[in-house]
């Protein structure tokens, strides 16, 4: 059970990184980006195609795929910020659902519906603690989640760029009147989160179910993790992602309970939404 729980940390780190990206998007550009994992999936698929069919070196194919994932995210952000600048968060987020479905459909057309032959970027154990083997992928994903969360917090609280980003998210019209480059900063947020999402999927895809739908739907557990922090707190997004991974890993060790691990993110989302509305729901039920 302990081995399974620790093995789940690899997926937990993946959820945590995506959850941090979702939190940053929600806080800074008023979008819950449901295409967060899909852009990473598409960039990763292109990197596999470049390596297998074109013969590019693996490192170059991965670099191109990561850049493509970032570019797709920026393109989506351009659409949202240009034509939906004054729209509500719900409307802006709905556009990303369309992008999610578009990228999944496009991947089926271009690459088929079978899993891709990803080559692992990291393989093998990193170290052993108390008889439990910790893989390199686990160390990389958990480490990346913590680094991204801490770096984002420092950027937002200790730099002038962070102050500009927070002003833009809370008072966009006032910020623009003060000369803050809204579109450039917005594009940067979309681009950086797109790059991070693609990098983490490139790392984890070889050890996961890596068909297009499974990779794109990683946004569901990531959203559950981000919801723990109310799409506002980066630390709770990381904790939520790691906790989800550990629970799923532990459940996978039980033959009777292993199927339940697929429902954990949905149960977490339902529970957190009900908890967030507890006053209204419980008062109405009296």
pLDDT in tens, the chain (286 residues): 667 777 788 889 999 999 999 999 999 888 999 999 999 999 999 999 999 999 999 999 999 999 999 999 999 999 988 888 778 888 889 999 999 999 999 999 999 888 888 888 888 888 887 677 888 998 999 999 999 999 999 999 989 888 888 887 777 777 777 777 878 888 999 999 999 999 999 999 988 788 999 999 999 999 999 999 889 899 999 999 999 998 988 888 877 778 888 888 888 888 888 888 776 655 665 5
Question: Sign of torsion, CA 60 65 70 72?
Answer: positive
Q: Name the CA radius of gyration of the chain, rounded.
A: 19
List C-alpha distances in Å: 76 to 68, 93, 161, 163. Answer: 12, 11, 22, 24
Angstrom distance (rounded) from CA 187 to CA 169: 13
Q: In the beta sheet, which residues pair with residue 134?
A: 127
> What integer pLDDT is reported at residue 103 of this predicted model?
95
3-state secondary structure of 6: helix
Angstrom distance (rounded) from CA 248 to CA 265: 9
CB 47, CB 64: distance < 8 Å: yes
Beta strands per DSSP E along 20-93: none
> What integer pLDDT is reported at residue 221 of this predicted model?
92
Question: Sign of torsion, CA 240 202 263 248?
Answer: negative
Q: In the beta sheet, which residues pair with residue 73?
A: none
Angstrom distance (rounded) from CA 120 to CA 251: 25
Three-class HEC string of 122-142? CCCEEEEECCEEEEHHHHHHH
> What integer pLDDT is reported at residue 146 of this predicted model?
94
Contact residues for 25 (Cβ-Cβ < 8 A; gap 6+): 31, 32, 33, 36, 189, 190, 193
0.75 surpassed by pTM? yes
């Amino acid at each position: 059970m302990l081995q399974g729980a620790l093995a789940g940390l690899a997926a937990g780190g993946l959820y945590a990184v995506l959850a941090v990206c979702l939190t940053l998007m929600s806080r800074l550009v008023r979008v819950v980006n449901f295409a967060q994992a899909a852009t990473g999936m598409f960039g990763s698929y292109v990197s596999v195609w470049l390596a297998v069919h074109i013969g590019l070196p693996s490192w170059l194919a991965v670099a191109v795929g990561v850049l493509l994932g970032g570019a797709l995210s920026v393109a989506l952000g351009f659409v949202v910020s240009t034509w939906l600048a004054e729209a509500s968060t719900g409307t802006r987020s709905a556009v990303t659902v369309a992008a999610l479905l578009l990228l999944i459909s496009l991947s089926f057309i271009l690459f088929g519906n079978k899993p891709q032959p990803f080559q692992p970027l990291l393989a093998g154990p990193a170290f052993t603690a108390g008889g439990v083997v910790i893989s390199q992928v686990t160390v990389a994903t958990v480490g990346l989640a913590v680094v991204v969360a801490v770096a984002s917090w420092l950027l937002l609280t200790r730099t002038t760029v962070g102050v500009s980003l927070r002003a833009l998210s809370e008072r966009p019209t006032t910020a623009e009147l003060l000369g803050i480059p809204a579109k450039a900063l917005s594009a940067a947020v979309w681009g950086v989160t797109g790059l991070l999402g693609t990098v983490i999927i490139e790392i984890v895809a070889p050890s996961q179910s890596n068909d297009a739908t499974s990779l794109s739907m990683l946004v569901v557990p990531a959203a559950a993790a981000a919801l723990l922090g109310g799409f506002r707190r980066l630390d709770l997004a990381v904790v939520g992602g790691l906790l989800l991974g550990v629970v799923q890993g532990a459940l996978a060790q039980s033959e009777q309970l292993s199927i339940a691990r697929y429902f954990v993110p949905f149960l977490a989302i339902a529970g957190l939404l009900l908890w967030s509305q507890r006053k209204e729901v419980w008062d109405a039920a009296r």
